[in-house]
Amino acid sequence: MALKEPASMDECVYFTNRNLGEKGKIRAWVYRQNCPKCNKALMGKPRDKGKIKIRATEYVCPNCKYTAQKEEYEDTLTFESKYVCPHCEFTGEVQIPFKRKKVKVFDEETQKQVTAESVRFQCSKCGKSIDVTKKMK
Ligand SMILES: [Zn+2]
Ligand SMILES: [Zn+2]
């Protein structure tokens, strides 16, 4: 399996490149997909006078105007990632459904367990969980 990394952010609904703890690293992305109704255009966030509404809670098809709710729609997409496991330093790749779950993670800044939304997968070598949490601000 060799994942193709996106050439530009415009191809993605999600992209991240970050460190996982002291030893791990991850690059992850979710490609935009064609409209499930007309299959003629890429689904995207709605635009207002040419500007993308980043915080919109839905995706729309610019061709047929089909609209899908953000969470429901994102569940159908594929999360792809190249990672260096923070537990065993194995370099691997994964493809999983883009589903966020509430998980408990250890926040290094506050030194506390916190609940965060995360895409969780298991390292294909050591089997331990790797979390790609949504940044809370
Ligand atoms: Zn469409
Ligand atoms: Zn591992």
pLDDT at 74: 93
43 alpha carbon, closest ligand: 1
Q: pLDDT, tens digit, for every residue of 6-22?
A: 999 889 999 999 999 89
Distance between Cα 119 and ligand 1 center (Å): 27
Provide the β-strand partners of residue 129: 122
Q: pLDDT, tens digit, for every residue of 96-118?
A: 999 999 998 887 788 888 898 99
92 alpha carbon, closest ligand: 2
CA-nearest of 93, 95, 74, 96 to 85 is: 93
Q: pLDDT, tens digit, for every residue of 49-80?
A: 888 888 899 999 999 999 999 989 999 999 99
Distance between Cα 61 and ligand 1 center (Å): 5
Cβ count within 10 A of residue 96: 14
Distance between Cα 60 and ligand 1 center (Å): 8
Distance between Cα 102 and ligand 2 center (Å): 22
